[in-house]
Amino acid sequence: MKLVILDRDGVINYDSEDYIKSADEWYPIPGSLEAIARLNNAGISVAVATNQSAVARGLCDLDDINAIHQALRTRLSAVGGRVEVIAFCHHGPSNGCDCRKPLPGLLREIRRRTGFPLSGTPMVGDSRRDLEAALGVGAQPILVRTGNGEKTERLLPPPLAEVPVFDDLAAAVDALLEGALLERA
């Protein structure tokens, strides 16, 4: 395993029904930044794939999104972690792009920018669209119960109902580093 892909809102940081629109609204979920640092310390690169339709909805702009991502990188660096790539879709649900998850555009961008194959790569998310995006490119979907994850878990149809589920990113990273999920990859 050379790469792990993460959704942002609801996996790394708390989500909001009102969207995360500024760096002041960005709060990491306890243990998430340290979990990313543990992946890095094990020689594993981390990328983020995130839908950010608040831009298309006029709630914030690209400078705001970039400031949020800088806050993520700064806070992550403080605990010894890093992300190689943050790929984001700023389009709305009806804009017809190919980058909004569950479509494959963001994941293909990560592949292009990192050089790592997507097949078998773990992808951690809290929504059905995260899991579908992973399956669509042959990655290994993993669900966390943070963010929208508990609701998502209750509503998953087969074959999504069979994906590994963990309480949070820290627990998912524990399983990845212990090799508990590698046989599925």
Total Cβ atoms within 10 A of residue 163: 19
Q: Is 91 annotated as a binding residue?
A: yes
The answer to whether residue 167 is catalytic is no
Q: Is 168 annotated as a binding residue?
A: no
Q: Is 89 annotated as a binding residue?
A: yes
How many Å separate Cα 79 from the centre of its chain? Answer: 19
Q: Is 126 annotated as a binding residue?
A: yes
Phi-psi label, residue 3: left if phi above 0, alpha if psi -120 to 50, beta otherwise: beta
The answer to whether residue 174 is catalytic is no
Q: Is 69 annotated as a binding residue?
A: no
- Per DSSP, 156 falls in state P
Q: Is 97 annotated as a binding residue?
A: yes
Are 100 and 91 in contact by the 8 Å Cβ rule? The answer is yes
- Can you tell me the distance from the alpha carbon of 108 to that of 78, in angstroms, rounded to the nearest whole number? 29
**Three-state DSSP class for residue 150:** helix
| Positions marked catalytic | 7, 9
Annotated binding site for Mg(2+): 7, 9, 126
Annotated binding site: 7, 9, 89, 91, 97, 99, 126
